[in-house]
Amino acid sequence: MTAVTRTVRIGSSHGLHARPAKLFAQAAKDSGLTITVAKDSGKPVNAASILGVISLGVEQGDYVTLSTEGDGAEAALDRLSELLTTDHDAE
């Protein structure tokens, strides 16, 4: 299997705090894939773990790298990338 990675810029004006982190972690969990997320060149954490995601301390404009592999990997990262680039604080 080939690993799929995607680097995206965070769009939420307050970064990945509770609400966007919860949406992101839930979507990662729902994908059924093991997905990791890392800030810059930091240690990757489980994307389905809300505490792991919040612990990254991601702010607006930061770059994160998503990684996964398996069936549906591209589609899963497309969906997660869209969640990360959307400003959930503007709604």
13 neighbors 88 (Cβ within 8 angstroms): no
Active-site option among 14, 17, 29, 79: 17
Angle at alpha carbon of residue 15, lines to 91 and 78, rounded to 5°? 80
* Catalytic residue status for 88: no
d(CA 65, CA 22): 18
90 neighbors 21 (Cβ within 8 angstroms): no
74 neighbors 33 (Cβ within 8 angstroms): no
Give me the active site residues, please.
17
